[in-house]
Amino acid sequence: MIAIVDRGECIGCRLCEEICPDVFVLDSEGISTVIVDELPFEFEECAHEAEERCPSSAITLE
């Protein structure tokens, strides 16, 4: 599984970084970026939570 952030949709609320800091980190522009390529199994649960709770639906998991 991989995580993708739509930079055009992200509003920089930081929620994904708080929920799943091993996967999502806000960059210098205040936009969430994905810091791992293939998500390790142990990160999948928090990545799903971040996807579900992102207020702008900017996160996609594939």
Residues at the site binding ligand SF4, with contacts judged by CB under 6 A: 5, 10-16, 24, 32, 54-56, 58-59
Residue 18 backbone zone (phi > 0: left; psi -120 to 50: alpha; other: beta): alpha
**Residue 35 Cβ vs ligand SF4, minimum distance, rounded to whole Å:** 13
* Beta-carbon contacts of residue 12 (< 8 Å; ≥ 6 apart): 26, 30, 31, 32
- Closer CB to ligand SF4, 39 or 54, in the complex: 54
Are the CB atoms for 46 and 20 separated by under 8 Å? yes
Of the two residues 18 and 40, which places its CB atom closer to ligand SF4 in the complex?
18
Nearest residue (CB) to ligand SF4, 32 versus 43:
32
